[in-house]
Amino acid sequence: MRKELNAAAVRKFAANNIVPIIFIVLCAVCIPIAGYSGTYLVDQIITRIVRNSFLVLSLLIPIMAGMGLNFGMTLGAMAGQIGIIFITAWNVVSIPGLLLAAIIATPIAVLLGWFCGKMLNMARGREMITSYMISFFMNGVYQLVVLYGMGPVIPLSSDQVILPRGYGVRNTIDLLNVRKSIDNFWSIKLFADENGAGGITIPFLTIILIALLCIVIIWFRKTKIGQDMRAVGQDMEVAREAGIKVERTRILAIVISTVFAAYGMIIYLSNMGTLNTYNSHSQIGMFSIAALLVGGASVSKASIKNVFLGIILFHLMFILTPQAGKNLIGQAQIGEFFRVFVSYGVITLALVLYEIRTRREKAESARNLALSQEATA
């Protein structure tokens, strides 16, 4: 009896955590094939955590408010990029530069988030596909502004930023001014060789920033607004009856998420050191969502734990697969395609599993009635 119970519990655990389990197995298989050293992997993973966690954390609040995965986080990323473009053009360097970028990005992110939230209130029940389409639509607007507006309409004249034709921002911008400025502000290096190469770098300031955001999110859950969001997320009608302003709360959730995403993007770009003007934001949206799902989050439930587990597993896979592909078949490209496939595949899988699980729970009530009938008969 006890054994059966355990077996059932294990099966249930596996069913509920199928995505992270697949990834753990995948990574375990790839590590020996890729043949990277332990220190290299640890250093890489720390870099990725530092780079991405702020972005992934920004997804938590809309999930709490029952709005699903916020594909509209791309909007925040765009706001962050606009901030970065300005400070690069104005040549404001290092941490003051990044702060200025954040100040510029904030109102833009608030505005975009407000727009996105308004739209999502009009598309209840299909928030995800709508936020996804908003990110596409806004991508067009962003390109219009950045590719045509910057120069003639919005005065910017830096050669570093503007294309030689006189308007529009370059495809890639080198962010030498702010490159790793947060990371290098206070960091230590472990296990490095005598030349200072290799080893594991630990950037304390960035880690403190991320820890701060985690604390803010934990604190946020305990506030009145956090409680309201959880209520709205469970049942809008009940929340409305209790007098909670449902629409406002939902818009606020998206605005907060968008602003955090903007800050996350600034941290990300400073760490990367280059801005891919027309690609970075869309890519980051997909990778962040995939990472969160890999960590075992679902459309309706996600925690800080999911964020970090997700980033570690997802990016480990990211680092490993090209090398593993190369060592296995002699083509690094297969690994590249493979990780794109995995990113999309994991989102598909998580969405499908979520739907099927919700359905199963609904079907259970019928089964219970049937059982109780049989019991009385």
Partner 1 sequence: MMDRIKELAKSFGLPRLIIAGFLMALFIISPFAGLSITAAITDVAGRFGQNALMVLAMVPMIHSGCGLNFGLPLGIIAGLLGATLAIETGIGGPVSFLLAMLYSTPFAIIFGWGYGKLLNRVKGSEMMIATYVGFSSVAFMSIMWLILPYSSPTMVWGYTGQGLRTTISTEGFYYHILRDTLAIRIGSLQISIAEILFFALFAFIIWAFLHTKTGTAMTAVGSNAVFARASGINIDKQRTLSVIMSTWLGAIGILCYQQGYGFVQLYQGPMYMAMPAVSAILIGGASVNKASITNVIIGTILYQGIVSMTPSVMNSLIHTDMSEVLRIIVSNGMILYALTRKSGASR
Partner 2 sequence: MSEMTKPLLEMQSVSKEYNGNPVLKDVSFTLGQGEVLGLVGENGAGKSTLMNILFGMDVIHQTGGYGGKVLIDGNEVKFASPLDALKAGIGMVHQEFSLLPGFTAAENILLNREPQNRSVLSLVFGDRANTIDRKKLQKEAIDAITKLGVELDPDMMVSEMPVGHKQFTEISREISKSSIRLLVLDEPTAVLTEKEAEMLLKAIRNLASQGISVIFITHRLQEILDVCNKVVVMRDGRIINELDAGKTSIQEMARLMVGREVSTHPKDDDRAGRTISDRIVLSVKDLWVDMPGETVKDVNLEVRDGEILGIGGLAGQGKLGIPNGIMGLFPAGGSVMLNGSPIPLNNPRACLDSSLAFVSEDRRGVGLLLDESLEWNIAFPAMQIQEKFLRMYLGGLIKWRDQNAIKTVTDKYIEQLQIKCTSSKQKAKELSGGNQQKICLAKAFALEPKLLFVSEPTRGIDIGAKSLVLKALREYNRELGVTIVMISSELEELRQICDRIAIITDGSVSGILPASTPSEDFGMLMVGKTRKEA
Q: Would you tell me which residues interact with partner 2 (CB under 8 A)?
A: 219, 222-225, 227-228, 230-231, 234-235, 237-239, 241-244, 365-366, 369-370, 373, 376-377
Q: How far apart are CA 71 and CA 96, in angstroms?
A: 30
Cβ closer to partner 1: 196 or 330? Answer: 330
Per CB under 8 A, contacts with partner 1 among 332-351 are: 333-334, 337-338, 340-341, 343-345, 347-348, 351
Cβ closer to partner 1: 305 or 359? Answer: 359
The answer to the question of residue 123 lying near partner 1 (CB under 8 A) is: yes
Taking alpha carbons only, the member of 152, 132, 101 closest to residue 275 is 101
Cβ closer to partner 2: 165 or 362? Answer: 362
The answer to the question of residue 174 lying near partner 1 (CB under 8 A) is: no
Q: How far apart are CA 52 and CA 63, in angstroms?
A: 18
The answer to the question of residue 219 lying near partner 1 (CB under 8 A) is: no
Cβ closer to partner 2: 3 or 222? Answer: 222
Q: Which does 147 bind (CB under 5 to 8 A by kind): partner 1, partner 2, none?
A: partner 1
Per CB under 8 A, contacts with partner 1 among 148-167 are: 148
Q: Which does 129 bind (CB under 5 to 8 A by kind): partner 2, partner 1, none?
A: partner 1
Residues near 99 by Cβ (< 8 Å), separated by ≥ 6? none
The answer to the question of residue 234 lying near partner 1 (CB under 8 A) is: no
Strand (E) or helix (H) holding 201 = strand 200-203
The answer to the question of residue 122 lying near partner 1 (CB under 8 A) is: yes
- Can you say how many angstroms the Cα of residue 223 is from the centroid of all Cα atoms in its chain? 23
> And the tokens for 297?
């989050």
Taking alpha carbons only, the member of 46, 20, 36 closest to residue 314 is 20
Instruction: Report how far apart, in Å, the C-alpha atoms of 111 and of each of 101, 114, 132, 267, 365 are.
Output: 16, 5, 17, 21, 44
The answer to the question of residue 137 lying near partner 1 (CB under 8 A) is: yes
Per the CB < 8 A criterion, the answer to whether 17 and 307 are in contact is no
The answer to the question of residue 331 lying near partner 1 (CB under 8 A) is: yes
Torsion (CA) 76, 311, 319, 263 in degrees, nearest 10? 30
> And the tokens for 270?
């400073």
Strand (E) or helix (H) holding 332 = helix 332-376
According to CB under 8 A, which one of 59, 67, 73, 128 is a site residue for partner 1?
A: 128
Strand (E) or helix (H) holding 84 = helix 73-90
Per the CB < 8 A criterion, the answer to whether 22 and 217 are in contact is no
The answer to the question of residue 284 lying near partner 1 (CB under 8 A) is: no
DSSP states of 126-191: -HHHHHHHHHHHHHHHHHIIIIIIBTTTB----TTTB-TTSSSB-SEEE-TTTTTHHHHHSEEEES
Q: Which does 355 bind (CB under 5 to 8 A by kind): partner 1, partner 2, none?
A: partner 1
Cβ closer to partner 1: 214 or 351? Answer: 351
Cβ closer to partner 1: 25 or 141? Answer: 141
Q: Which does 215 bind (CB under 5 to 8 A by kind): partner 2, partner 1, none?
A: none
Residues that bind partner 1 (CB under 8 A): 119, 122-123, 125-126, 128-130, 132-134, 136-137, 139-141, 143-144, 147-148, 329, 331, 333-334, 337-338, 340-341, 343-345, 347-348, 351-352, 355-356, 359
